[in-house]
Amino acid sequence: MAERTPSFDLSGYTIPTHVAIIMDGNGRWARQRGLPRQAGHRAGAENLRRIINACVEFRIKILTIYAFSTENWGRPELEVRGLMKIISRVIDQELKDLHAQGVCLHHLGSMTGIDPGLQEKVRRALELTKNNDRLILNVAFNYGGRAEILEAVKHILADNVAPEELTEALFSSYLFTRGLPDPDLVIRTSGELRISNFLIWQAAYSEFYPTPVYWPDFGREELYEAILVFNQRERRFGLVTEP
Ligand code: FPP
């Protein structure tokens, strides 16, 4: 008999609108099993499918994932090529289902340096899914928070925005996440306690949830647990709650 998936009741809980994840620990997950790093990245990519399904189930509206940072180019060439191959394969294999599921893909980052064939694949994926509204999936790919801020500043200068016109809201509209609310919850797997150049403007007031679990093992149950912990947090945004 097929095993039943336990249902997680989140009624009465606040569901974070926007969850962002630093998917860390693929390499250590593989090493623990005596496998090559690429096997860890493959397991990480498979896990993404589980987490997307869980986000839809839990009615999270926006998921942002850190797939490849501007710093990741410094990894061994073989690993970089392997990661690009996985990303390309995931688009080939998952795009149809993601579209059917109502997932709208966004790209955060730059296309500079990306293989033209993969650039084209990404563009087609964004175009195909642009009107979907069940879950926005922001893929931070060739992304760096500092590079994003620099790009924004360059565009603001090019647009001749006067200093007195420049507000936080206007600045945000020059970022890759324009039009989207900031993340409520930032999850980092594998026990590291760094932000690593991820959404450094947008995560100013996000709740941070570090977990020792390696990314390939961070499943639906772990996401549910993160939402429960999020509900115990008191978000003050720099204010006080006492009268
Ligand atoms: C960090 O683990 C993970 C990455 C740099 C890559 C994340 C990529 C995937 C999960 C592949 C799939 C992505 C998409 C969008 C299809 P690490 O290698 O730094 O692990 P370690 O710290 O244990 O070495």
pLDDT tens for 85-112 read 999 999 999 999 999 999 999 999 999 9
Residue 235 has pLDDT above 90, yes or no: no
The rounded distance, in Å, linking the Cα atoms of 187 and 23 is 8
The rounded distance, in Å, linking the Cα atoms of 176 and 199 is 10
Share above pLDDT 90 across residues of the chain, in percent, rounded to a whole number: 93
How far, rounded to the nearest angstrom, does the alpha carbon of residue 217 sit from its chain's CA centroid? Answer: 17
Query: Which residue is catalytic, options 72, 132, 197, 231?
Result: 72
Q: What are phi and psi of 185, to 5 degrees?
A: -135, 125
* Domain residue ranges of the chain, discontinuous segments joined by +: 18-144+180-231
How does the average pLDDT of the chain come out, rounded?
96
Long-range residue pairs from 28-35, CB within 8 A, at least 24 positions apart, any chain: 28/190, 28/214, 29/214, 29/215, 29/216, 29/217, 32/214
Is 72 tagged catalytic? yes
Q: What is the pLDDT of residue 7?
A: 81
List the structure tokens of 193.
Answer: 């306690």
Nearest one of 208, 201, 75, 206 to 148, comparing CA atoms: 201
Reported as type and span, the H/E element at residue 66 is strand 62-69
* Architecture of the CATH domain 18-144+180-231: 3-Layer(aba) Sandwich (3.40)
* Ligand 1 atom with the shortest distance to the CA of 30: 23
Whose structure tokens read 């999936």?
137
Q: Is the CB of 216 under 6 A from ligand 1?
A: no
pLDDT tens for 176-225 read 999 999 999 999 999 999 999 999 999 999 999 999 999 999 999 999 99
Is 97 tagged catalytic? no
Can you name the residues that pair with 136 across neighbouring β-strands? Answer: 62, 104
Q: Is the CB of 186 under 6 A from ligand 1?
A: no
List the structure tokens of 51.
Answer: 């987490």
Instruction: Say what the pTM is.
Output: 0.95
Q: What is the pLDDT of residue 3?
A: 58
Other CB atoms within 10 Å distance of the CB of residue 42: 20
Long-range residue pairs from 146-154, CB within 8 A, at least 24 positions apart, any chain: 146/197, 146/200, 147/70, 147/110, 148/108, 148/109, 148/175, 148/176, 148/201, 149/175, 149/200, 149/201, 151/110
Q: Is the CB of 23 under 6 A from ligand 1?
A: yes
Q: What is the pLDDT of residue 2?
A: 52
